[in-house]
Each structure stands twice: as C-alpha cells, then as structure tokens.
C-alpha cells in the first residue's frame, strides 16, 4: 500500500495518461516490433528511433505539470482523429450487438438504423429523414 500512496503523491498535479498518451504507447510498441522484424536494414534503425521518440514523448506528457498545454495537445489529437474514432467505435458497437439486432443504412440519408432480429419482414422508418423501406430481419 505504501507504493500506491507514493505513486499518488508523485502524480499529484501532473497530466497522467490520456488518449494521446495511449496512442503514443501503442505506437511505441508497433515501431519497436517493426524494428525487430526487419533487422539489418536502414528502416530498422528508423523504426527504433521513432519508437524511442514516441516512448519519451509519452513519458514526458504523463509527468508534465503544464496541464493546459497537455490538454490542448490532447484536444488537437482528438479533433484530428475524431472521424476515424467515431467510425471505428460505431462499427465496434454494431459488431457487439449483431446477435440481437440487424443494422441497415437508410437508402436516402445513409443513417445506420437498428432493428431487432428474427421479426420477419418489417417496414423501417428512418428517424432522421422519415424515409420508409422494407427489409427482412
């Protein structure tokens, strides 16, 4: 328990880990693995250096006390990757619900619509544009 108290005391007033730090951690692992997989080439050294840079930047961001600057960096990262994360998150959500629901795109506006499985042929109404279409669930 003393280690936990010490760690809480050390991290007080510091940035800690956020989404950008997690991305940098994954990037570090990917770059270092790539450097190991393609040994003996110039690319190996490049990936090794990129991995170390990601690691040290992530550690610096985690222990930084300049919270406003780190939050601004994280917000910029979230804005930059928002569309990709949104699409990936929506796809993962649909994948998790695939046993109970069928998902259809509205032919008019492209919105994803969720309907229960095994209900036969249903007339589906889009909540966004009001388009009606029939699909088998």
pTM, whole model, 2 decimals? Answer: 0.65
Q: Does residue 127 register a pLDDT over 80?
A: yes
Lowest mean pLDDT among 13-17, 49-53, 75-79: 13-17
pLDDT of residue 52: 96
Task: Render pLDDT for 67-87 as a digit per residue (tens, 0 to 9).
Answer: 999 999 999 999 998 888 878
Using alpha carbons, select from 111, 112, 114, 135 the residue that is nearest to residue 123.
135
Tokens, residue 84: 């990709």
């Amino acid at each position: 328990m003393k280690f936990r108290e010490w760690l809480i005391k050390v991290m007080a007033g510091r940035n800690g880990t956020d989404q950008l730090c997690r991305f940098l951690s994954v990037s570090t692992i990917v770059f270092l693995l790539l450097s190991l997989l393609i040994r003996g080439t110039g690319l190996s050294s490049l990936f090794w250096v990129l991995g170390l840079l990601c690691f040290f930047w992530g550690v610096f961001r985690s222990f930084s006390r300049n919270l406003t600057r780190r939050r601004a960096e994280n917000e910029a990262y979230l804005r930059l990757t928002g569309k990709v994360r949104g699409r990936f998150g929506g796809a993962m959500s649909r994948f998790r619900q695939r046993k109970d629901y069928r998902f259809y795109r509205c032919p008019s506006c492209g919105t994803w619509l969720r309907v229960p499985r095994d209900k036969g042929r249903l007339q589906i109404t889009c909540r966004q544009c009001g388009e009606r279409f029939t699909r088998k669930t």
